[in-house]
Structure 1
Amino acid sequence: MNLRVALGQMDIALGDAEANLRAVQTLAAQAAAAGAHLLVLPELWGSGYLLERAQELADELNTGLFAAVATLARHHRLAICGSLLEWDATSGQVYNTATCYDAEGRLLGWYRKTHLIGLMDEDRYLAAGDAAPVFDTPWGRAALAICYDLRFPELFRRYALDGATLVLLPAEWPVQRIAHWQTLLRARAIENQCFVLACNRVGADRTNRFGGRSAVIDPRGEVLVEGADTPQLLLADLDLHLLDEVRALLPVLRDRRPEVYALDEPRIADERRDA
Protein backbone atom coordinates (compact mmCIF):
# COMPACT_ATOMS: atom_id res chain seq x y z
CA MET A 1 0.00 0.00 0.00
CA ASN A 2 1.31 3.44 -0.93
CA LEU A 3 0.65 6.73 0.79
CA ARG A 4 1.42 10.11 -0.75
CA VAL A 5 2.19 12.71 1.90
CA ALA A 6 2.75 16.45 1.72
CA LEU A 7 4.66 18.73 4.09
CA GLY A 8 3.49 22.34 4.11
CA GLN A 9 6.70 24.16 5.04
CA MET A 10 5.61 27.76 5.62
CA ASP A 11 6.48 31.02 7.30
CA ILE A 12 4.08 32.06 10.06
CA ALA A 13 2.65 35.56 10.52
CA LEU A 14 2.96 36.19 14.26
CA GLY A 15 -0.49 36.36 15.83
CA ASP A 16 -2.31 36.71 12.49
CA ALA A 17 -4.70 33.76 12.28
CA GLU A 18 -6.40 34.98 9.09
CA ALA A 19 -3.16 35.35 7.13
CA ASN A 20 -1.90 31.99 8.34
CA LEU A 21 -5.18 30.28 7.46
CA ARG A 22 -5.00 31.72 3.94
CA ALA A 23 -1.50 30.24 3.57
CA VAL A 24 -2.75 26.86 4.77
CA GLN A 25 -5.71 26.98 2.39
CA THR A 26 -3.26 27.44 -0.49
CA LEU A 27 -1.06 24.57 0.72
CA ALA A 28 -4.07 22.27 1.10
CA ALA A 29 -5.26 23.04 -2.42
CA GLN A 30 -1.78 22.38 -3.81
CA ALA A 31 -1.43 19.14 -1.84
CA ALA A 32 -4.81 17.88 -3.02
CA ALA A 33 -4.01 18.79 -6.64
CA ALA A 34 -0.77 16.78 -6.33
CA GLY A 35 -2.68 13.71 -5.21
CA ALA A 36 -1.58 13.76 -1.56
CA HIS A 37 -3.57 11.81 1.02
CA LEU A 38 -2.12 13.61 4.05
CA LEU A 39 -0.79 17.12 4.67
CA VAL A 40 1.42 17.90 7.68
CA LEU A 41 1.74 21.54 8.81
CA PRO A 42 4.19 23.19 11.25
CA GLU A 43 3.83 23.72 14.98
CA LEU A 44 1.55 26.57 16.10
CA TRP A 45 0.93 27.45 12.47
CA GLY A 46 -2.01 29.70 13.35
CA SER A 47 -0.18 32.03 15.71
CA GLY A 48 3.53 31.35 16.07
CA TYR A 49 5.20 31.81 19.45
CA LEU A 50 3.20 34.83 20.66
CA LEU A 51 2.63 33.02 23.92
CA GLU A 52 1.93 36.05 26.11
CA ARG A 53 -1.34 36.24 24.14
CA ALA A 54 -1.93 32.49 24.26
CA GLN A 55 -5.33 32.63 25.98
CA GLU A 56 -6.58 35.21 23.48
CA LEU A 57 -5.30 33.27 20.46
CA ALA A 58 -6.31 29.77 21.57
CA ASP A 59 -9.44 27.92 20.44
CA GLU A 60 -11.29 25.08 22.06
CA LEU A 61 -10.85 21.77 20.28
CA ASN A 62 -13.06 21.49 17.16
CA THR A 63 -13.78 25.23 17.16
CA GLY A 64 -12.05 28.21 15.55
CA LEU A 65 -8.94 27.22 13.58
CA PHE A 66 -9.43 23.57 14.52
CA ALA A 67 -12.86 23.66 12.88
CA ALA A 68 -11.41 25.49 9.88
CA VAL A 69 -8.91 22.65 9.39
CA ALA A 70 -11.71 20.07 9.58
CA THR A 71 -13.64 21.98 6.92
CA LEU A 72 -10.56 22.29 4.72
CA ALA A 73 -9.83 18.57 5.06
CA ARG A 74 -13.39 17.68 4.09
CA HIS A 75 -13.40 20.11 1.15
CA HIS A 76 -10.18 18.74 -0.34
CA ARG A 77 -10.68 15.11 0.71
CA LEU A 78 -7.31 15.38 2.42
CA ALA A 79 -6.19 14.41 5.92
CA ILE A 80 -4.50 17.34 7.68
CA CYS A 81 -2.21 17.43 10.72
CA GLY A 82 -0.64 20.37 12.54
CA SER A 83 -0.51 22.03 15.95
CA LEU A 84 -2.42 25.00 17.32
CA LEU A 85 -3.02 26.72 20.65
CA GLU A 86 -5.87 24.93 22.42
CA TRP A 87 -7.97 26.42 25.22
CA ASP A 88 -9.39 23.86 27.63
CA ALA A 89 -12.34 25.37 29.47
CA THR A 90 -12.45 22.59 32.06
CA SER A 91 -8.91 23.13 33.32
CA GLY A 92 -8.63 26.80 32.36
CA GLN A 93 -5.33 26.02 30.65
CA VAL A 94 -3.82 26.56 27.21
CA TYR A 95 -2.03 23.69 25.46
CA ASN A 96 0.11 23.29 22.35
CA THR A 97 -2.08 20.65 20.69
CA ALA A 98 -1.52 18.65 17.52
CA THR A 99 -4.52 17.19 15.72
CA CYS A 100 -5.08 14.87 12.79
CA TYR A 101 -8.33 15.27 10.84
CA ASP A 102 -9.21 12.71 8.19
CA ALA A 103 -10.50 13.38 4.67
CA GLU A 104 -14.05 13.51 6.04
CA GLY A 105 -13.12 16.20 8.53
CA ARG A 106 -13.32 13.82 11.49
CA LEU A 107 -10.83 14.11 14.33
CA LEU A 108 -8.76 10.91 14.23
CA GLY A 109 -6.36 11.78 17.01
CA TRP A 110 -5.02 14.64 19.09
CA TYR A 111 -2.04 15.16 21.35
CA ARG A 112 -0.99 17.86 23.82
CA LYS A 113 2.74 18.60 23.83
CA THR A 114 4.23 16.91 26.87
CA HIS A 115 7.72 18.44 26.86
CA LEU A 116 7.59 22.23 27.18
CA ILE A 117 10.74 24.09 26.18
CA GLY A 118 11.92 26.86 28.47
CA LEU A 119 13.96 28.49 25.68
CA MET A 120 10.64 29.39 24.02
CA ASP A 121 8.84 30.27 27.30
CA GLU A 122 6.35 27.46 26.84
CA ASP A 123 6.65 26.50 30.49
CA ARG A 124 5.56 30.05 31.49
CA TYR A 125 2.41 30.23 29.40
CA LEU A 126 1.27 26.71 28.52
CA ALA A 127 0.26 23.56 30.35
CA ALA A 128 1.90 20.23 29.53
CA GLY A 129 -0.05 17.26 28.23
CA ASP A 130 0.10 13.99 30.11
CA ALA A 131 -0.87 11.37 27.53
CA ALA A 132 0.80 9.68 24.55
CA PRO A 133 -2.05 8.30 22.44
CA VAL A 134 -1.79 6.13 19.34
CA PHE A 135 -4.72 6.22 16.92
CA ASP A 136 -5.96 4.40 13.83
CA THR A 137 -5.77 5.87 10.34
CA PRO A 138 -6.53 4.41 6.89
CA TRP A 139 -2.76 3.79 6.57
CA GLY A 140 -2.09 2.11 9.91
CA ARG A 141 -1.59 3.20 13.50
CA ALA A 142 -0.19 6.70 13.96
CA ALA A 143 0.99 9.01 16.70
CA LEU A 144 1.74 12.71 17.12
CA ALA A 145 4.71 14.52 18.61
CA ILE A 146 5.65 18.21 18.60
CA CYS A 147 9.06 19.80 18.05
CA TYR A 148 11.01 19.55 21.38
CA ASP A 149 9.46 16.08 21.93
CA LEU A 150 11.94 14.87 19.30
CA ARG A 151 14.69 15.00 21.94
CA PHE A 152 12.94 12.40 24.12
CA PRO A 153 13.40 8.91 22.65
CA GLU A 154 11.24 7.30 25.33
CA LEU A 155 8.12 8.87 23.84
CA PHE A 156 8.82 7.47 20.39
CA ARG A 157 9.63 4.02 21.78
CA ARG A 158 6.31 4.10 23.64
CA TYR A 159 4.58 4.82 20.35
CA ALA A 160 6.38 1.98 18.57
CA LEU A 161 5.50 -0.50 21.31
CA ASP A 162 1.87 0.61 21.04
CA GLY A 163 1.87 -0.20 17.33
CA ALA A 164 2.52 3.16 15.68
CA THR A 165 3.95 2.91 12.18
CA LEU A 166 3.71 6.64 11.37
CA VAL A 167 4.78 9.51 13.63
CA LEU A 168 3.65 12.98 12.55
CA LEU A 169 5.70 15.85 13.95
CA PRO A 170 4.92 19.57 13.51
CA ALA A 171 7.77 21.85 14.62
CA GLU A 172 9.28 25.32 14.96
CA TRP A 173 12.94 24.29 15.15
CA PRO A 174 15.54 27.11 15.12
CA VAL A 175 18.21 27.19 12.43
CA GLN A 176 21.14 27.18 14.87
CA ARG A 177 20.21 23.64 15.97
CA ILE A 178 19.06 22.32 12.60
CA ALA A 179 21.81 19.66 12.56
CA HIS A 180 20.25 18.21 15.72
CA TRP A 181 16.88 18.15 13.96
CA GLN A 182 18.24 16.24 10.99
CA THR A 183 20.11 13.73 13.15
CA LEU A 184 17.29 13.11 15.61
CA LEU A 185 14.66 12.62 12.90
CA ARG A 186 16.71 9.82 11.37
CA ALA A 187 17.50 8.35 14.77
CA ARG A 188 13.84 8.20 15.84
CA ALA A 189 12.90 6.50 12.54
CA ILE A 190 15.78 4.00 12.65
CA GLU A 191 15.52 2.97 16.29
CA ASN A 192 11.73 2.50 16.12
CA GLN A 193 11.58 1.28 12.51
CA CYS A 194 8.76 3.64 11.60
CA PHE A 195 8.02 6.45 9.17
CA VAL A 196 8.62 9.95 10.58
CA LEU A 197 6.87 12.86 8.85
CA ALA A 198 8.22 16.14 10.20
CA CYS A 199 7.20 19.64 9.11
CA ASN A 200 9.26 22.58 10.34
CA ARG A 201 8.54 26.25 9.76
CA VAL A 202 10.77 28.79 8.03
CA GLY A 203 11.22 32.53 8.45
CA ALA A 204 11.73 34.35 11.74
CA ASP A 205 9.86 35.69 14.73
CA ARG A 206 11.00 38.19 17.37
CA THR A 207 13.82 36.02 18.75
CA ASN A 208 14.47 33.07 16.43
CA ARG A 209 15.12 32.20 12.82
CA PHE A 210 13.76 28.81 11.83
CA GLY A 211 15.57 26.28 9.71
CA GLY A 212 13.01 24.45 7.59
CA ARG A 213 14.52 21.14 6.42
CA SER A 214 11.14 19.44 6.77
CA ALA A 215 11.58 15.78 5.96
CA VAL A 216 10.05 12.36 5.53
CA ILE A 217 12.20 9.52 6.86
CA ASP A 218 11.47 5.84 6.19
CA PRO A 219 11.97 2.92 8.63
CA ARG A 220 15.49 2.31 7.27
CA GLY A 221 16.47 5.89 8.09
CA GLU A 222 16.46 6.90 4.42
CA VAL A 223 15.45 10.50 3.71
CA LEU A 224 12.64 10.34 1.14
CA VAL A 225 12.38 14.11 0.82
CA GLU A 226 13.93 17.11 2.58
CA GLY A 227 13.16 20.77 2.20
CA ALA A 228 15.41 23.80 2.03
CA ASP A 229 14.93 26.87 4.26
CA THR A 230 12.23 28.60 2.21
CA PRO A 231 8.45 28.11 2.00
CA GLN A 232 7.57 25.09 -0.13
CA LEU A 233 5.27 22.11 -0.45
CA LEU A 234 7.17 18.82 -0.27
CA LEU A 235 5.80 15.50 -1.53
CA ALA A 236 6.85 11.93 -0.82
CA ASP A 237 5.42 8.51 -1.63
CA LEU A 238 5.57 5.97 1.20
CA ASP A 239 5.67 2.23 0.54
CA LEU A 240 3.93 1.04 3.70
CA HIS A 241 4.94 -2.59 3.07
CA LEU A 242 8.52 -1.54 3.72
CA LEU A 243 7.86 -1.35 7.43
CA ASP A 244 7.09 -5.07 7.75
CA GLU A 245 10.18 -5.92 5.69
CA VAL A 246 12.47 -3.83 7.87
CA ARG A 247 11.04 -5.17 11.13
CA ALA A 248 11.30 -8.76 9.89
CA LEU A 249 14.94 -8.33 8.82
CA LEU A 250 16.04 -6.66 12.06
CA PRO A 251 13.48 -7.42 14.81
CA VAL A 252 14.71 -4.70 17.14
CA LEU A 253 11.44 -4.34 19.06
CA ARG A 254 11.25 -8.10 19.65
CA ASP A 255 14.88 -8.31 20.78
CA ARG A 256 14.62 -5.64 23.47
CA ARG A 257 15.76 -6.55 27.05
CA PRO A 258 13.81 -4.03 29.16
CA GLU A 259 14.38 -6.07 32.33
CA VAL A 260 18.07 -5.16 32.04
CA TYR A 261 17.94 -1.47 31.23
CA ALA A 262 14.47 -0.17 32.06
CA LEU A 263 14.78 3.21 33.76
CA ASP A 264 13.66 3.62 37.34
CA GLU A 265 12.26 7.08 38.05
CA PRO A 266 13.16 7.19 41.78
CA ARG A 267 16.74 6.26 40.84
CA ILE A 268 16.85 9.17 38.36
CA ALA A 269 15.62 11.51 41.09
CA ASP A 270 18.37 10.26 43.44
CA GLU A 271 21.01 10.83 40.77
CA ARG A 272 19.82 14.41 40.32
CA ARG A 273 20.14 15.06 44.05
CA ASP A 274 23.69 13.67 44.03
CA ALA A 275 24.77 15.77 41.03
Structure 2
Amino acid sequence: MMHVSLAQFEVARADAAANLARIAELAAEASAAGSDLLCLPEMCTTGFDWAYNRAHLSFAAEDAANVAGFAQQHGIAICGSMLEQTESGNAANCFHYFDARGTVCARYRKLHLFTLFHEERHVEAGHECVCFDSDFGPLGAGICYDLRFPELFRRNTEAGARLHLLPAAFPHPRLEHWRTLVRARAIENQTYFIAINQCGVEGHDRSVGETQYFGHSMVVDPWGEIVAEAGEDACLLQVEIDPSLVSQVRSKLSAWEDRRADLFSF
Protein backbone atom coordinates (compact mmCIF):
# COMPACT_ATOMS: atom_id res chain seq x y z
CA MET A 1 0.00 0.00 0.00
CA MET A 2 1.05 3.59 -0.62
CA HIS A 3 0.14 6.49 1.68
CA VAL A 4 -0.22 9.87 -0.01
CA SER A 5 -0.96 13.37 1.28
CA LEU A 6 -2.46 15.97 -1.06
CA ALA A 7 -1.70 19.51 0.12
CA GLN A 8 -4.48 21.79 -1.07
CA PHE A 9 -3.67 25.35 -0.05
CA GLU A 10 -3.72 28.98 -1.15
CA VAL A 11 -0.31 29.76 -2.62
CA ALA A 12 0.96 33.16 -1.43
CA ARG A 13 1.38 35.30 -4.53
CA ALA A 14 4.90 36.68 -4.96
CA ASP A 15 6.07 35.45 -1.56
CA ALA A 16 8.43 32.49 -1.84
CA ALA A 17 9.45 32.70 1.82
CA ALA A 18 5.85 32.30 3.00
CA ASN A 19 5.22 29.40 0.61
CA LEU A 20 8.40 27.59 1.63
CA ALA A 21 7.46 27.96 5.28
CA ARG A 22 4.04 26.48 4.52
CA ILE A 23 5.57 23.59 2.57
CA ALA A 24 7.92 22.84 5.46
CA GLU A 25 4.92 22.63 7.83
CA LEU A 26 3.03 20.39 5.40
CA ALA A 27 6.02 18.06 4.98
CA ALA A 28 6.29 17.67 8.76
CA GLU A 29 2.54 17.06 9.10
CA ALA A 30 2.37 14.57 6.24
CA SER A 31 5.40 12.67 7.51
CA ALA A 32 3.97 12.50 11.03
CA ALA A 33 0.75 11.08 9.54
CA GLY A 34 2.75 8.26 7.94
CA SER A 35 2.55 9.42 4.33
CA ASP A 36 5.08 8.20 1.77
CA LEU A 37 4.47 11.09 -0.64
CA LEU A 38 3.41 14.73 -0.25
CA CYS A 39 1.82 16.25 -3.38
CA LEU A 40 1.84 20.04 -3.79
CA PRO A 41 -0.14 22.18 -6.28
CA GLU A 42 1.02 24.20 -9.29
CA MET A 43 3.64 26.97 -8.91
CA CYS A 44 3.66 26.23 -5.20
CA THR A 45 6.74 28.30 -4.37
CA THR A 46 5.77 31.62 -5.99
CA GLY A 47 2.33 31.72 -7.58
CA PHE A 48 1.74 33.49 -10.89
CA ASP A 49 2.99 37.07 -10.44
CA TRP A 50 5.25 37.06 -13.49
CA ALA A 51 6.97 40.37 -12.74
CA TYR A 52 8.00 38.93 -9.35
CA ASN A 53 8.85 35.58 -10.91
CA ARG A 54 11.19 37.15 -13.48
CA ALA A 55 12.99 38.99 -10.70
CA HIS A 56 13.04 35.81 -8.61
CA LEU A 57 14.38 33.49 -11.32
CA SER A 58 17.92 33.43 -9.96
CA PHE A 59 16.54 32.10 -6.64
CA ALA A 60 14.33 29.39 -8.18
CA ALA A 61 16.98 26.66 -7.88
CA GLU A 62 17.48 27.58 -4.22
CA ASP A 63 13.74 27.27 -3.60
CA ALA A 64 13.73 23.80 -5.14
CA ALA A 65 16.75 22.85 -3.05
CA ASN A 66 14.87 23.93 0.07
CA VAL A 67 11.96 21.65 -0.84
CA ALA A 68 14.43 18.81 -1.44
CA GLY A 69 15.79 19.52 2.05
CA PHE A 70 12.30 19.20 3.56
CA ALA A 71 11.94 15.81 1.85
CA GLN A 72 15.24 14.61 3.27
CA GLN A 73 14.59 16.08 6.73
CA HIS A 74 11.20 14.42 7.10
CA GLY A 75 11.90 11.24 5.13
CA ILE A 76 9.03 11.79 2.69
CA ALA A 77 8.91 12.10 -1.09
CA ILE A 78 7.60 15.47 -2.31
CA CYS A 79 6.30 16.54 -5.72
CA GLY A 80 4.83 19.73 -7.11
CA SER A 81 5.21 22.38 -9.81
CA MET A 82 7.65 25.24 -9.21
CA LEU A 83 9.29 28.16 -10.94
CA GLU A 84 12.47 27.15 -12.77
CA GLN A 85 15.04 29.03 -14.82
CA THR A 86 15.73 27.43 -18.20
CA GLU A 87 19.09 27.08 -19.88
CA SER A 88 18.26 30.15 -21.99
CA GLY A 89 17.42 32.20 -18.92
CA ASN A 90 13.64 32.09 -19.31
CA ALA A 91 11.03 31.02 -16.77
CA ALA A 92 9.59 27.50 -16.82
CA ASN A 93 6.66 25.97 -14.97
CA CYS A 94 8.37 22.76 -13.88
CA PHE A 95 7.18 19.66 -12.04
CA HIS A 96 9.77 18.38 -9.56
CA TYR A 97 9.81 15.04 -7.77
CA PHE A 98 12.14 14.59 -4.80
CA ASP A 99 12.43 11.21 -3.13
CA ALA A 100 12.59 10.70 0.63
CA ARG A 101 16.38 11.17 0.51
CA GLY A 102 16.01 14.59 -1.11
CA THR A 103 17.22 13.40 -4.51
CA VAL A 104 15.65 14.90 -7.62
CA CYS A 105 14.13 11.90 -9.43
CA ALA A 106 12.34 13.85 -12.17
CA ARG A 107 11.76 17.28 -13.66
CA TYR A 108 9.04 17.93 -16.23
CA ARG A 109 8.38 21.28 -17.90
CA LYS A 110 4.75 22.04 -18.72
CA LEU A 111 4.04 21.23 -22.37
CA HIS A 112 0.72 23.01 -22.85
CA LEU A 113 0.74 26.67 -21.80
CA PHE A 114 -2.55 28.27 -20.75
CA THR A 115 -3.14 30.99 -23.33
CA LEU A 116 -6.34 32.19 -21.61
CA PHE A 117 -4.08 33.53 -18.82
CA HIS A 118 -1.28 34.45 -21.28
CA GLU A 119 1.12 31.91 -19.81
CA GLU A 120 2.89 31.65 -23.17
CA ARG A 121 4.07 35.28 -22.78
CA HIS A 122 5.99 34.44 -19.64
CA VAL A 123 6.93 30.76 -19.74
CA GLU A 124 9.12 28.61 -21.96
CA ALA A 125 7.22 25.44 -22.82
CA GLY A 126 8.67 21.99 -22.28
CA HIS A 127 9.41 19.63 -25.14
CA GLU A 128 9.19 16.11 -23.73
CA CYS A 129 6.93 13.79 -21.79
CA VAL A 130 8.31 12.45 -18.54
CA CYS A 131 7.68 9.02 -17.04
CA PHE A 132 10.13 8.17 -14.27
CA ASP A 133 11.02 5.49 -11.78
CA SER A 134 10.30 5.98 -8.10
CA ASP A 135 10.26 3.95 -4.90
CA PHE A 136 6.58 3.29 -5.71
CA GLY A 137 7.03 2.22 -9.32
CA PRO A 138 6.89 4.20 -12.59
CA LEU A 139 5.07 7.54 -12.40
CA GLY A 140 3.93 10.01 -15.06
CA ALA A 141 3.99 13.81 -14.75
CA GLY A 142 1.65 16.51 -16.00
CA ILE A 143 0.75 20.07 -14.97
CA CYS A 144 -2.71 21.71 -14.86
CA TYR A 145 -3.76 22.59 -18.46
CA ASP A 146 -2.04 19.37 -19.64
CA LEU A 147 -5.10 17.59 -18.24
CA ARG A 148 -7.04 18.54 -21.38
CA PHE A 149 -4.57 16.77 -23.68
CA PRO A 150 -4.90 12.98 -23.34
CA GLU A 151 -1.93 12.21 -25.60
CA LEU A 152 0.52 13.15 -22.84
CA PHE A 153 -0.93 10.65 -20.39
CA ARG A 154 -1.25 7.97 -23.07
CA ARG A 155 2.43 8.40 -23.90
CA ASN A 156 3.43 8.21 -20.23
CA THR A 157 1.28 5.11 -19.72
CA GLU A 158 2.90 3.48 -22.74
CA ALA A 159 6.25 4.28 -21.11
CA GLY A 160 5.12 2.33 -18.04
CA ALA A 161 3.41 4.84 -15.74
CA ARG A 162 0.99 3.21 -13.32
CA LEU A 163 0.11 6.46 -11.58
CA HIS A 164 -0.10 10.03 -12.92
CA LEU A 165 0.62 13.14 -10.85
CA LEU A 166 -0.88 16.51 -11.81
CA PRO A 167 -0.27 19.67 -9.75
CA ALA A 168 -2.73 22.33 -10.83
CA ALA A 169 -4.30 25.75 -10.38
CA PHE A 170 -7.75 25.13 -11.88
CA PRO A 171 -10.27 27.94 -11.28
CA HIS A 172 -14.02 28.38 -11.35
CA PRO A 173 -16.14 28.03 -13.45
CA ARG A 174 -14.50 24.84 -14.74
CA LEU A 175 -15.01 22.51 -11.76
CA GLU A 176 -17.03 19.94 -13.72
CA HIS A 177 -14.42 19.91 -16.48
CA TRP A 178 -11.82 19.11 -13.80
CA ARG A 179 -13.80 16.31 -12.19
CA THR A 180 -14.71 14.76 -15.54
CA LEU A 181 -11.25 14.96 -17.07
CA VAL A 182 -9.40 13.57 -14.05
CA ARG A 183 -11.68 10.53 -14.06
CA ALA A 184 -11.41 10.16 -17.84
CA ARG A 185 -7.60 10.15 -17.77
CA ALA A 186 -7.68 7.40 -15.12
CA ILE A 187 -10.31 5.32 -16.94
CA GLU A 188 -8.79 5.47 -20.42
CA ASN A 189 -5.30 4.53 -19.19
CA GLN A 190 -6.43 2.18 -16.40
CA THR A 191 -4.07 3.90 -13.96
CA TYR A 192 -4.31 5.88 -10.75
CA PHE A 193 -4.55 9.65 -11.18
CA ILE A 194 -3.63 12.12 -8.43
CA ALA A 195 -4.60 15.73 -9.13
CA ILE A 196 -3.64 18.42 -6.59
CA ASN A 197 -5.29 21.82 -6.96
CA GLN A 198 -4.84 25.23 -5.40
CA CYS A 199 -7.63 26.89 -3.45
CA GLY A 200 -8.30 30.51 -2.53
CA VAL A 201 -8.26 33.73 -4.57
CA GLU A 202 -5.47 35.21 -6.66
CA GLY A 203 -5.43 38.64 -8.30
CA HIS A 204 -3.89 38.96 -11.75
CA ASP A 205 -3.44 41.89 -14.13
CA ARG A 206 -6.44 43.70 -15.58
CA SER A 207 -6.60 41.44 -18.65
CA VAL A 208 -7.23 38.38 -16.44
CA GLY A 209 -8.73 39.81 -13.24
CA GLU A 210 -9.33 37.86 -10.05
CA THR A 211 -9.18 34.07 -10.05
CA GLN A 212 -11.01 31.78 -7.61
CA TYR A 213 -9.35 28.38 -7.41
CA PHE A 214 -11.87 25.71 -6.44
CA GLY A 215 -9.71 23.03 -4.79
CA HIS A 216 -11.34 19.59 -5.16
CA SER A 217 -7.99 17.81 -5.20
CA MET A 218 -8.71 14.21 -6.17
CA VAL A 219 -7.40 10.66 -6.24
CA VAL A 220 -9.05 8.42 -8.82
CA ASP A 221 -8.37 4.69 -9.14
CA PRO A 222 -7.94 2.65 -12.37
CA TRP A 223 -11.68 1.87 -12.44
CA GLY A 224 -12.41 5.60 -12.48
CA GLU A 225 -13.74 5.53 -8.94
CA ILE A 226 -13.02 8.56 -6.78
CA VAL A 227 -10.93 7.34 -3.84
CA ALA A 228 -10.88 10.75 -2.17
CA GLU A 229 -11.88 14.31 -3.05
CA ALA A 230 -11.37 17.54 -1.10
CA GLY A 231 -13.80 20.43 -0.90
CA GLU A 232 -12.89 24.05 -1.66
CA ASP A 233 -11.02 24.88 1.56
CA ALA A 234 -7.37 24.35 2.41
CA CYS A 235 -6.65 20.85 3.70
CA LEU A 236 -4.14 18.03 3.83
CA LEU A 237 -6.01 15.11 2.30
CA GLN A 238 -4.70 11.72 3.42
CA VAL A 239 -5.20 8.77 1.06
CA GLU A 240 -4.15 5.12 0.94
CA ILE A 241 -3.87 3.49 -2.49
CA ASP A 242 -3.02 0.01 -3.70
CA PRO A 243 -0.73 0.10 -6.78
CA SER A 244 -1.48 -3.57 -7.50
CA LEU A 245 -5.03 -2.56 -8.42
CA VAL A 246 -3.76 -1.43 -11.83
CA SER A 247 -2.91 -5.00 -12.82
CA GLN A 248 -6.15 -6.31 -11.32
CA VAL A 249 -8.26 -3.87 -13.33
CA ARG A 250 -6.42 -4.60 -16.57
CA SER A 251 -6.85 -8.35 -16.06
CA LYS A 252 -10.63 -7.93 -15.67
CA LEU A 253 -11.11 -5.40 -18.48
CA SER A 254 -8.46 -5.65 -21.19
CA ALA A 255 -8.95 -2.20 -22.76
CA TRP A 256 -5.27 -1.33 -22.40
CA GLU A 257 -4.19 -4.51 -24.21
CA ASP A 258 -6.89 -4.10 -26.85
CA ARG A 259 -5.81 -0.64 -28.03
CA ARG A 260 -4.69 -0.39 -31.68
CA ALA A 261 -1.19 0.97 -31.15
CA ASP A 262 -0.36 -0.05 -34.73
CA LEU A 263 -2.81 2.56 -36.06
CA PHE A 264 -2.46 5.38 -33.54
CA SER A 265 1.05 6.60 -32.82
CA PHE A 266 2.05 9.83 -31.09
Question: TM-score, normalization: structure 1?
Answer: 0.91
- Indicate yes or no: 2:193 matched with 1:190: no
The one-letter code sitting in structure 1 at the alignment partner of 2:193 is: V
- Indicate yes or no: 2:57 matched with 1:86: no
Looking at structure 1, the residues matched to 133 and 79 of structure 2 have their Cα atoms a distance apart, in angstroms, of 14
Looking at structure 2, the residues matched to 148 and 57 of structure 1 have their Cα atoms a distance apart, in angstroms, of 24
The one-letter code sitting in structure 2 at the alignment partner of 1:245 is: Q
Looking at structure 2, the residues matched to 240 and 41 of structure 1 have their Cα atoms a distance apart, in angstroms, of 20
**Equivalent residue for 2:95, pick from 87, 95, 98:** 98
Q: CA deviation at 1:144?
A: 0.9
Looking at structure 1, the residues matched to 14 and 193 of structure 2 have their Cα atoms a distance apart, in angstroms, of 28
The one-letter code sitting in structure 2 at the alignment partner of 1:160 is: T
- Indicate yes or no: 2:242 matched with 1:239: yes
The answer (yes or no) to whether the contact 2:170–2:178 under 8 Å persists in 1 is: yes
Looking at structure 1, the residues matched to 174 and 239 of structure 2 have their Cα atoms a distance apart, in angstroms, of 24
| Structure 1, unaligned runs of 5 or more | 264-275
Looking at structure 1, the residues matched to 43 and 69 of structure 2 have their Cα atoms a distance apart, in angstroms, of 18
The answer (yes or no) to whether the contact 2:140–2:157 under 8 Å persists in 1 is: no
Aligned residues: 260
For 1:151, the equivalent position in structure 2 comes to 148
The answer (yes or no) to whether the contact 1:49–1:120 under 8 Å persists in 2 is: no
Q: CA deviation at 1:235?
A: 0.7
Q: Alignment partner of 1:154: what SS?
A: helix
Q: CA deviation at 1:18?
A: 0.8
For 2:4, the equivalent position in structure 1 comes to 5
Looking at structure 1, the residues matched to 94 and 121 of structure 2 have their Cα atoms a distance apart, in angstroms, of 16
The answer (yes or no) to whether the contact 1:51–1:121 under 8 Å persists in 2 is: no
Q: Alignment partner of 1:85: what SS?
A: strand
The one-letter code sitting in structure 1 at the alignment partner of 2:202 is: D
- Indicate yes or no: 2:167 matched with 1:170: yes
Q: For 1:171-209, what per-residue CA distance to the aligned partner results, in whole angstroms no more than 9, with x for missing partners?
A: 000021011001100000010011111110000111210
Q: For 1:39-96, what per-residue CA distance to the aligned partner results, in whole angstroms no more than 9, with x for missing partners?
A: 00000011111123332223577x31100111000000000001111012x3222110
Question: TM-score, normalization: structure 2?
Answer: 0.94
The one-letter code sitting in structure 2 at the alignment partner of 1:18 is: A
For 1:253, the equivalent position in structure 2 comes to 256
Looking at structure 2, the residues matched to 259 and 138 of structure 1 have their Cα atoms a distance apart, in angstroms, of 32
For 1:56, the equivalent position in structure 2 comes to 55
**Equivalent residue for 2:120, pick from 112, 120, 123:** 123
For 1:24, the equivalent position in structure 2 comes to 23
The answer (yes or no) to whether the contact 1:217–1:224 under 8 Å persists in 2 is: yes
Q: CA deviation at 1:260?
A: 4.1
Looking at structure 2, the residues matched to 8 and 259 of structure 1 have their Cα atoms a distance apart, in angstroms, of 40
Q: Alignment partner of 1:174: what SS?
A: coil
